[in-house]
A and B are shown apart, each in its own frame.
Chain A
Amino acid sequence: MRVLSKDFFNLRSLGPIIALLVVLVILPSIIPRFYIYILAVIFMTALLAMSLNMVVGHGGLFQFHHGAFYGVGAYTAALMLTKTSLPMWLGFVAGPFMAAFVGLLIGMFCVRLTKLYFGMLQISLGSLVWAIAFRWYSFTGGDDGIHGIPLPSLISSTKGAYYFGLILLILCVTVIYLIFKSPFGATLQAIRDNPERCEAIGINVRRHQLIAIVIATFFAGVAGVLFVVVEGSVFPDLLFWVFSLELFIMCLLGGWFTFAGPILGAAIMISLRTFVGIYTEYWTLILGIILILLIFFLPEGVWGYLLEKFGFQRKKLLEKEPDP
């Protein structure tokens, strides 16, 4: 068992969490608009990283192209808002469902394979989705994307988007936590730790993995809708595989065997990108160096390191897995 924060919402952590939420609710009235926007981006990315970690950290699957589903969610919402006259909320609801549907389609192929095969096939199939969004000018706007998406006035301001993002993040993280603690979540983690044994005691490993992928891609779609709300536009970079691997780094940076690690990872990464990006155009170079430093010095991530350091659980996190 490598998951540290079995009791993320225990009595001890309840105080700090409530305090953090109060601060986040009050913050927009104090800080300038730019920072509100950055925080909204962090909420969105944190949700996305949390959804990715459902399959990567809890499920042990090499979900290498999570961004594809995020992009599908965002594009679905954007297309429905701009090209149809259906009610707006329908677009917001359709995004996640479409993402989950694409997740099901791609997942069906991927779960037939394991580990690296899984990851490579997913990168490839996800890239097909990217290629379609990138080239289908008449429908998706090609590499220009879609801009000026009409939004309900309640959430079209930066502050509105901020609160919308905060509420969605809290809701989704709560649901992800409930899934994580449910029998299904426990089974998923058992499959991650020992798929052969799970298979032997009669668990349908593939089906559980597929369900996990569908749930995770649903939340990725929610994050995609949130992107539309925050940015008011979509473009094919959302579905690009490099971004997906960046998400992977966020989970690693935060600590993927912890529950809340990806939120921290996303926050650190977005802040770095924003403030380092001001000084240099070579952001990916810096990202690469950060990743190498992480691999060598902090493989269990920041949150995992802190948890270990301050004695919540002394077990070594990243043991070399025994060969099957």
Chain B
Amino acid sequence: MESGYTITFAALGSQFLVGLSRAMILFIVSSGMSLVLGVLRVPNVAHGSLYMIGAFAAFSISSLFGGGSTGFWLALVFAPLVVALISFVAERSLFRHLYEREHLMLLLFTFALMLILGDLVKMFWGADYRSIMAPEMFQGAVPIFGSPFPKYNLFLLGVGPLVAVLLWLFITKTKIGKISRAAAVDMEMVGAIGINVSWVFAFAFVLGCLLAGLGGALVSPTVSITLGMDHDIIMEAFLIVAIGGLGNMWGALVGSLIFGLTQSFGVLFWPQFAIVFPYAAVVIVLTWRPKGILKSVW
């Protein structure tokens, strides 16, 4: 390398963990997008904005309670709920009237939502940079592979699989989850046997948005919370669900791992253009399997 340092095993190992914890955030956000995509068949362009709102709401809630540990945990619970509430209102008031229309109209509606939410965030929180402290038990770092690794990222490594398992249990074991999956495969049939499809859609949409909010709340102690954080994540989520297989939750997990790891290793090899690596991975995957690695639900 030009800078004269050699890539050691320790550096690789710690970048691997960094990539893995990044992948957990990406998974939580993109699984939400994948859920909406699977059931409603619409890429929710506003997903990134909801993620941003999740982060800002986490900031407000945590500072309301003095910014300590209690504030953090409350933020983690209530910020996603705030996001879910916003998406519920948007869905019931406007979005549901479009289900009979062309899919493009649904997509454009989510785009309109993104534009509106983006400016509302600017009105409420302004353009300043905000930050949250992680609770004390997750502050600092522990040495792994001989280099310090933030404790909070270890926490993320635990939360990611937990969310994956909960989500899996939810959509395979509960009735509403099973109905959602059925609606993803054949919406008309679900309607024909007397289930209110509109509410199934509402449920999937709100749950997907809740995951975006959760991702935003979880990421908030590790980044500076600011306007524009919606744009990066939405691109990443798009790519992840595209390479994973649209609507496939496990595909979102695989996609997130590919994305997070190529990104963090990319930083090691070519810092300025680390962003190129995940995109290159996407191009390779999609050349090899145009419909994504795992089976798309539709």
By a beta-carbon cutoff of 8 Å, the part of chain A in contact with chain B is 62, 109, 112-113, 115-117, 119-121, 123-125, 127-128, 131-132, 135-136, 240-242, 245, 248-249, 252, 282, 284-285, 287-289, 291-292, 295-296, 299, 318, 320-321
Contact = CB atoms under 8 A, between A and B. Distances in A.
Interface in B240-298: 241-242, 246, 272-273, 275-276, 279, 282-283, 286-287, 290-291
Given A109-B283, A123-B235, A288-B116, A117 B108 contact: no
Contacts of A318: 102
A231 to B, nearest CB: 23
B275 A131 contact: yes
27 contacts: A62-B104, A117-B242, A117-B246, A119-B107, A123-B235, A123-B238, A124-B242, A124-B282, A135-B275, A241-B231, A241-B235, A242-B231, A249-B108, A285-B120, A288-B116, A291-B109, A291-B111, A291-B112, A291-B115, A292-B94, A292-B112, A292-B116, A295-B98, A295-B109, A296-B94, A318-B102, A320-B102
Contact of A128 (B109, B120, B272, B279): B279
A287 B117 CA distance: 12
Select the residue from A115, A117, A284, A288 with max chain B CB neighbours within 10 A: A288
A320 B100 contact: yes
Contacts of B193: none
Interface in B27-54: 41-43, 45
Given A299-B105, A321-B102, 8 more contacts: A62-B104, A113-B286, A119-B43, A123-B235, A124-B279, A132-B273, A292-B94, A296-B97
Nearest to B114: A288
A128 B232 CA distance: 11
B275 A128 contact: yes
Contact of B119 (A115, A135, A285): A285
B105 A295 contact: yes
A125 B242 CA distance: 12
B282 to A, nearest CB: 7
A106 to B, nearest CB: 10
A260 B109 CA distance: 24
A175 to B, nearest CB: 27
A135 B272 contact: yes
Given A282-B123, A284-B119, A120 B43 contact: yes
B275 A288 contact: no
B103 interface: yes
Nearest to A240: B231
B175 interface: no
Nearest to B41: A116
A318 B113 CA distance: 22
B96 interface: no
A63 B90 CA distance: 26
Contacts of B122: 282
Given A128-B276, A291-B115, A320 B282 contact: no
What DSSP secondary structure best describes chain A's contact surface?
helix
B219 interface: no
B25 interface: no
A247 to B, nearest CB: 12
B221 interface: no
Given A109-B286, A124-B279, A288 B105 contact: no
Select the residue from B101, B111, B118, B246 with max chain A CB neighbours within 10 A: B111
B239 interface: yes
A175 B90 CA distance: 43
Contacts of A288: 111-116, 119
A249 B119 CA distance: 18
Interface string B67-105: 000000000000000000000000000100110111111
A136 B275 CA distance: 12
Given A120-B242, A124-B238, A321-B102, A112 B111 contact: no
A214 B45 CA distance: 26
A233 B250 CA distance: 45
Contacts of A292: 94, 109, 112, 116
Nearest to B116: A288
Contacts of A287: 112, 115
A121 B286 contact: yes
A241 B43 CA distance: 15
A116 B102 contact: no
Contacts of A109: 283, 286-287
A102 to B, nearest CB: 14
B54 to A, nearest CB: 19
Given A287-B115, A289-B116, A121 B242 contact: yes
A116 B273 CA distance: 28
Given A124-B282, A284-B118, A285-B116, A291 B108 contact: yes
Select the residue from B42, B272, B286 with max chain A CB neighbours within 10 A: B286
Contacts of B102: 318, 320-321
Contacts of B123: 282
Interface string B111-145: 11111101110110000000000000000000000
Contacts of A321: 102
B101 A135 contact: no
Contacts of A131: 275-276, 279
Interface string B148-191: 00000000000000000000000000000000000000000000
Nearest to A284: B115
Interface in B182-207: none
Contacts of A135: 272-273, 275
Select the residue from B103, B115, B118, B246 with max chain A CB neighbours within 10 A: B115
